[in-house]
Structure 1
Amino acid sequence: MVRWFQSFHRPPRPGRAESGGAPEQDLVAPSRLAALRTALAGIGTTLDEGVTCAELTREAVRQVGGAAAVLRVDGEGAARYEAVRGDPALLPGVPWALAAARETSGPEKARSLIPYSSAGRARPALCVSLTTGEHPYGGLVCAREREAFTEEEAVFLSLLAERAASHIRHAREHERVSGMVGNLQRALLAEPGRPHPNLDVAIRYLPVGQSALVGGDWCETVRLHFGRTLLVVGDVMGHGLEAAVDMTAYRSSLRYIASADLPPHRVLRRLDDSASAEPDRRPATCLIARVDPNRGQVTLASAGHLPPAVIDGQGRISLLPVPVGPPLGTGLGGYEPATYQLDPTQTLVLFTDGLVEHRDEDIDHSLDRLAGVAVAATAGVEDVIDTVLARLDARHAEDDVAVLAAQLHDRVPGGDGEHA
């Protein structure tokens, strides 16, 4: 039922039915249906509530002239006009609109007369409810200079308002769900553990696009006995929340398995067994580096992951060859270790493929671009990551990016370099 208000009512004008034509108020006339279809198509083009309100008032003015605004009432009863279109001086005061909006909420109020005066004379004004189902979002208020609104116009505007209210509901629901997803993503993006004091570590994570806070890429550090630290970078297939959920499962498994102080290739084997036992778990690549400062060594193992880079004392980057086994979750196993010397003048860099890969580019060429980056010889781990991300334009990467940089340094006095 259409509920509408205007400051004065005049008898309906003779319709075309008197001369043999269709009734003027006949909304099923093809021309009116076409106009209605066009008008409705222009409302709710985005999931932005403010844009939807602006589209509604713009279309209302286009259809009936004058001025239009959306009446908003906050939780404390304060009211205001939003999305004003046309001459604001034509609009009735907010108290009039509030009174009209209250009348529209009555179950039997089809129309009502509420006086509205401006510039010493009565002007026509109309308010239709901005409601969908049991969800009120305010009202659409329209006003113009002289001619009273017809019932046909009121029906037309109420249909536009219903359309807008439906999209406002969708926009608010989308915002609510997006907020829940964002909170969940933040919870999933747990901070990695602390390395031993004999190792400087920096980590950076850049999700692809603007719609996600976290995806399937991750970094982790785990303290082991005798001053050793496990450094891990992984990449779960896919993006967004689903990949992030599986990412947390891999991280949780890793922390549990790493507590047994196994060598990197055996950690990967246990992770692969665990993931392959869950058919819904997405495959993932993973690179593990166990850094032993006392021996000046790093032992690496890879599950389908790109090799790490090492930056020498002159700032030159090279890649460390590592035997590559199958991705985690395949159940195939077959991981092998590789050990290299590492000293405090070098920086170890682990990364996911989003840092270097470009669509339609050979991976060897992508890795060559990384090797061509020059880094200051005295750069710390934070500066190393900043330089690499900037030179490779990681802010515009085509995939999620996770980077971990680590440097050995002299043991901190009183630190826990010998035991976990």
Structure 2
Amino acid sequence: MPTPPSPWASSVPPPSPSSTRAPRSLAWPARSTARAPPCPTSSAARGWPCGSTPTRGGATYLSAGAIPPLLVTAAGASRYLEAASGGPIGVREPRSEAPIELGPGDTLVLCSDGLVEERRASIDLGLERLSGTAARRRTDAAQDLADALLADRTGSSDPGDDIAVLTCRIA
């Protein structure tokens, strides 16, 4: 993948391997316990035009959350972006980042662990359910996809944890 000439969006500082804190607009506190204060978790990305096809682009991402971002391609293939996953920002340095290639119709799904974790069930089942639902509903509008992912999860049992989901469709 080529080196990016400049970010597409400049409202959020781009991630860097040496990131020690989340951009304020992307940080939120994790659930606090009696033993530890809240830690910021975040995913951040920067993008650029990529390759010889003008409709494709690239992004560099880092993830500091429990659940890695999910990429669903326009063709329906899905995979979790685990190359740049890590713990809370500021805990272990340096941070890693990884490139991905994106095209029209691709969808990114970011979520909290409450969307995939269930009592008495393997987290792997929740990850498979999320990936399968996102792939089947990949042509839905981003808001409709988010609603379907929430309905799929909350219809199975009492969540017992916070649930957050963000979907982003690449135009």
Provide the identity percentage: 32
Secondary structure of 1:324's match? coil
User: Which stretches in structure 1 are left out of the alignment for 5+ residues?
Assistant: 1-224, 231-257, 410-420
Distance 1:386 1:284, change over 3 A: same
Distance 1:324 1:227, change over 3 A: closer
Q: Which residue, 116, 122, 125 being the options, matches 1:356? A: 116
Q: Which residue of 2 aligns with 1:142?
A: none
After TM superposition, list the pairs within 5 Å mapping 1:70-85 onto structure 2: none
Q: Highest relative contact order (Cα 8 Å, sep 6+), 1 or 2?
A: 2
Distance 1:333 1:311, change over 3 A: same
Q: Which residue, 9, 12, 15 being the options, matches 1:263? A: 15
Q: Which amino acid aligns with 1:263?
A: P
Measure, in 2, the Cα distance between the counterparts of 1:304 and 1:379: 26
RMSD of the alignment, in Å?
A: 3.0
Q: Which residue of 1 aligns with 2:9?
A: 228
Secondary structure of 1:368's match? helix
Q: Which residue of 2 aligns with 1:134?
A: none
- Bigger proportion of residues as helix: 1
Q: Which amino acid aligns with 2:49?
A: N
Measure, in 2, the Cα distance between the counterparts of 1:227 and 1:348: 17
Output the TM-score relative to the length of structure 2. Answer: 0.69
Output the TM-score relative to the length of structure 1. Answer: 0.31
Return the offset for 1:406.
0.9
Distance 1:341 1:383, change over 3 A: same
Decide whether the 8 Å contact of 2:138 with 2:145 is kept in 1. no
Q: Which residue of 2 aligns with 1:242?
A: none
Q: Which amino acid aligns with 1:378?
A: T
Structure with max Cα Rg: 1
Decide whether the 8 Å contact of 2:39 with 2:88 is kept in 1. yes
Return the offset for 1:377.
4.3
Distance 1:282 1:382, change over 3 A: same
Decide whether the 8 Å contact of 1:286 with 1:302 is kept in 2. yes
Decide whether the 8 Å contact of 1:316 with 1:371 is kept in 2. no
Asked if 1:376 corresponds to 2:137, the answer is: yes
Q: Which residue of 2 aligns with 1:327?
A: 88
Measure, in 2, the Cα distance between the counterparts of 1:226 and 1:302: 18
Measure, in 1, the Cα distance between the counterparts of 2:151 and 2:22: 33
Distance 1:325 1:378, change over 3 A: closer
Measure, in 1, the Cα distance between the counterparts of 2:166 and 2:10: 13
Q: Which residue of 2 aligns with 1:365?
A: 125
